[in-house]
Structure 1
Amino acid sequence: MDLRRRVTGIVLSFSVFAIPAAHGQGLTFALISKSLQDANFIAAARGCEQAASEDGNHCVHVGPKGAAHFRNQDLAIRHLLERDVDGMALSVTNGEYLARKSLAQVAERNIPLITFDSDLPDDLHSLRQAYVGPDNAEIGRQLGRIVNLFMDGGTLCLMSASPFDTNLNERLLGVRQALTGDPTPDEPGLLTGENGWTETGRCPWYNADDKSRAVTQVFTAYTYEHSDAIVSVGAWPLLDHNRLRSALAPFRDQLRSREKLFILATGGLRPQDTALMNEGLIQGFVSIDFEAMGRASYEVLKRLHEGRAVKEYWPTPVIPVLPGPASVSLDEPAPE
């Protein structure tokens, strides 16, 4: 194979994304996710399309195939720019990179752009008209409050996907804020004894959206890092359910007695997720409503297309889920 054919093949392997053929009548908006295969983004796309179809419009799901990566997401946006769309909703991977690349072209063409799930960094907010989704720092604080229900201090391993994801970094910050009781907006470094919490040596761990790697990291954190608590700011370990159950088996008694903790943020809970919690292998979840996020994204894009004013922040539901009847509020105490 000559060099030209090889290069063409490489480009196509990144740029052939699931962009449907042009629809008939009505507006077409694009929901640009981090990965087309991620169940949470599939739920968001479903909510967006359901809301759009009620008005005779359409919401197409666009993004990289396989694991999330900002370069592949940038290529997906560039490919989308070859089509006529009436607005875009983007879950941001690496905001600095996207701003220099495809988002500059989006701005030049005056295409309405909002973010959902994961926002652009503060200094790039001018590139989008609104953010739709949860307060990601609050998701982290909710995760930290669940930890505080069961443990007063110890060793901690935080788990994430990538150091470039704005929303995930905000969740890591929120966990640390809740555990230390420090509400300051500046991101602290690794916990080294603050309020009794110390992050173990190789954490936070990044799994690059690899569910198998995430499960291996869970096992390693308990076995070799001697972590008392693991907090995953996303659902990656849950996606390899059978391996996760096997990885947690050696620690079953300690998890059930809450000598060790395993707490995660996720989308809608599946029966197998609830089963792990009911068995005592997971102590709690923070559940994020992605369908509601998709519906709200469509509503904001429609309003922008109509020339109507929109709020800069459109919050969507976040629900803490604990085993048994909820007996303790995870809300912050009211000011005295």
Structure 2
Amino acid sequence: MNIKKVAITALCLSSLVAGSAVAQDKKTLAIVVKGLDNPFFEQINLGCKKWMSENADSAYECLYTGPASSSDEAGEVQIVDDLLVRGVAAIAISPSNAPAMANRIRAIAPTIPVMTLDADFLEQDRDLRKTYLGTDNYLMGVKMAEQASKLKSNGGTVCLQLGNVAADNINARAQGFRDTIAGSMKVDRLTGQNGWTEIAGCPLYTNDQADIANQQMSDVFTANQDLDAFILIGGWAQFAPQAYAQVTDQVMDKLNSKELIIIAGDTLPPQTKAFREGRSHSQVGQRPFEMGYRAPDVMIQLINGEKVDDPLYTGLDICTAEDAGFCAAK
């Protein structure tokens, strides 16, 4: 792959002391995310920077990077490849295409510690990493389903909006949602279980792109006037607040009356604002800042041969009309 297509890496090096320079012999702890265009991952970057600001005397530096676009699965694999060839002390990866990334890691067989954060490898490939740091994604789907069931106790028609087809974290959320709302395990599709039915053409796949996500929502609302629920398994559409406002303007009467409900993943500031404006009925949020802040310490533990729990979950923040909680404060 042409390296010019790969995003320029962004070193998470904060100004620790005015005019000071980072020692050249620092070892690198690399964090590779799905795409630098996603504001969710910028929170991971901020966590990385916070760690740097608090560890000026550390022998390690934190490197935050990823492809320019979240849809560039091959670009992410290439970045990981380049980092491993260049030499880093440890690496934390949020794989966009879990099988493709695992295949490359298996082929390279790095001797340094490899961990995942935010998104994991598929179960059959988890021997390739030491631990996973991030959300319990199946539980996140469970919580979304619980909110939908409270708002629509008799069920209804539903459309799920997902990200990349091969993203393990997103697929785990969708599975948690379907299993919980259907009341049984390993449900491939909702076909009337407990009154819930997925409409034709859904689930939708956004490739983690906000513009695609909003266009998909608009098209679904137009074509399905009787839709009961739209579930943003990830927050992509809400990451473009102006476009999301325009899309939800089409159905605000239905949202206000709860004829149509929207449950969305994540609680970044544009999303909590949308929630407060009544453009969603519940937000189930992850903690990406914590992921970026904790990842360097976990990698150092792995480098030192210390025992680390697997997985390491970072928790969820849930906002509803009855308990705005986290969303009211942001």
Same fold (TM over 0.5): yes
The size of the alignment, in residue pairs, is 311
Residue of structure 1 in register with 2:17 after alignment: none
CA contact (8 A) 2:48 2:64 kept: no
CA contact (8 A) 1:256 1:279 kept: no
Residue of structure 2 in register with 1:323 after alignment: 321
Confirm or deny that 1:200 pairs with 2:199. yes
TM-fit CA distance, 1:102: 4.4
Residue of structure 1 in register with 2:81 after alignment: 78
User: Match for 1:118: what amino acid?
Assistant: A
Deviations 1:35-67 (A, max 9, x none): 022212121122123224433231111211123
CA contact (8 A) 1:14 1:75 kept: no
User: Match for 2:146: what amino acid?
Assistant: R
User: Match for 1:222: what amino acid?
Assistant: F
Confirm or deny that 1:34 pairs with 2:30. no
Residue of structure 1 in register with 2:4 after alignment: 13
Deviations 1:66-121 (A, max 9, x none): 2333211111112212322110000012222122224531x2x3011000011101
CA contact (8 A) 1:74 1:98 kept: yes
Deviations 1:18-46 (A, max 9, x none): 16599524332000100022212121122
Query: Which 5+ residue runs of structure 1 have no aligned equivalent?
Result: 1-9, 328-336
Confirm or deny that 1:175 pairs with 2:208. no
RMSD between superposed Cα atoms in Å: 2.0
Residue of structure 1 in register with 2:137 after alignment: 136
Residue of structure 1 in register with 2:18 after alignment: none
SS at match of 2:251: helix
CA contact (8 A) 1:264 1:285 kept: yes
CA contact (8 A) 1:156 1:229 kept: yes
User: Match for 1:114: what amino acid?
Assistant: M
Moved over 4 A (4+): 19-23
TM-fit CA distance, 1:127: 0.3
Query: Which 5+ residue runs of structure 2 have no aligned equivalent?
Result: 14-21, 326-330
CA contact (8 A) 2:6 2:68 kept: no
Bigger mean CA deviation after superposition, 46-55 or 17-26: 17-26
- Percent identical pairs in the alignment equals 26
Q: Distance in 1 between matches of 2:317 and 2:283?
A: 8
Q: Distance in 2 between matches of 1:165 and 1:58?
A: 28
Q: Distance in 2 between matches of 1:82 and 1:46?
A: 26
SS at match of 1:101: helix
Deviations 1:292-331 (A, max 9, x none): 111221121010111211111111021111135369xxxx
User: TM-score normalised to the size of structure 1?
Assistant: 0.87
Deviations 1:146-178 (A, max 9, x none): 111110210000001111100000000011122
Residue of structure 1 in register with 2:300 after alignment: 302
CA contact (8 A) 1:36 1:61 kept: no
1:24–1:50 Cα change, 3 Å: farther
Q: Distance in 1 between matches of 2:302 and 2:42?
A: 23
Q: Distance in 2 between matches of 1:157 and 1:58?
A: 43
CA contact (8 A) 2:29 2:91 kept: yes
User: Match for 1:158: what amino acid?
Assistant: L
Confirm or deny that 1:314 pairs with 2:315. no
User: Match for 1:11: what amino acid?
Assistant: N
Q: Which aligned pairs between 1:88-107 and structure 2 lie closer than 5 A?
A: 88-105=91-108, 107=109
